[in-house]
Amino acid sequence: MSADLIVRRLGVQPYEPVLKAMQRFTDERGQDTADEIWLLEHEPVFTQGQAGKEEHLLAPGTIPVVKVDRGGQVTYHGPGQLIVYLLLNLKRLKVGVRELVALMEQAVVDVMASYEIEAYPKADAPGVYVDGNKLASLGLRVRRGCSFHGLALNIDMDLSPFQRINPCGYPGLEMVQVKQLAASADMAAVSQRMLEYLTERLGYNAVVEKQQLD
């Protein structure tokens, strides 16, 4: 069993202050610092990962573009998309990076199965898909054995900004969201199921909930 887990439900947040908070938390944490999972939505933003290429930004318009320190290419975040940031001490958990990526993907697959949605990962294209359309995107950074960033699951959002980019570097990739596939699903229920899945699989003793950043 690992130490306790702190869960922060942060509502809708601008991107850059949360990015800086993740980086600061990771830089300042010690060996005894409790792991955290942040659940939130972002105000509209395109984020360009370390492998991101400018040609995949087709027509960002008034939506800001932020270059970030996670893996991967360019994606879009906006209200109605569940963001799950995993700020975990992987050494303490004895979890490898690939194992954590697989766990995130399987969390989406299994939670979607509870809504009778058949979702699946792809070995050559990280993320989770339904009928060839992308449902969830993943991107991580590991520093000093600790992870930050995480996953983005489309639930009930405006998908049109994805047409202004090549999502994850794939021209013509179509996006899909949970609400199109299961009318009964909503942000609160899906986020709770995701949280329960991750905390159970990672084996935390107890969960302490907070509504804001310290």
Choose among 64, 83, 173, 60: nearest CA to 125. 173
Separation between Cα atoms, residue 51 and residue 179, nearest integer Å: 30
45: which 2 tokens?
């933003």
Q: What is the pLDDT of residues 8-31, one digit of tens each?
A: 999 999 999 999 999 999 999 999
* Residues annotated as part of the active site: 168
Could you give the percent of the chain with pLDDT greater than 90?
A: 79
Q: Which pLDDT band, with edges at 50, 70 and 90, does 207 fall under?
A: confident
Say how far apart CA 63 and CA 25 lie, in whole Å.
27
* Terminal CA-CA length for the chain: 25
> Does 179 have pLDDT greater than 80?
yes
Residue from 69, 77, 4, 67 nearest 34 by CA: 4
CB 42 within 8 A of CB 77: yes
Which pLDDT band holds residue 195 (cuts at 50, 70, 90)? very high
* Amino acid, res. 61: G
Region 55-78 average pLDDT: 89
| pTM (2 d.p.) | 0.95
Q: Residue 172: which region, alpha, beta or left (left: phi > 0; alpha: psi -120 to 50)?
A: left
DSSP state of 212: S
How far is the C-alpha of 118 from the C-alpha of 148, rounded, in Å? 28
Average pLDDT, the chain: 93
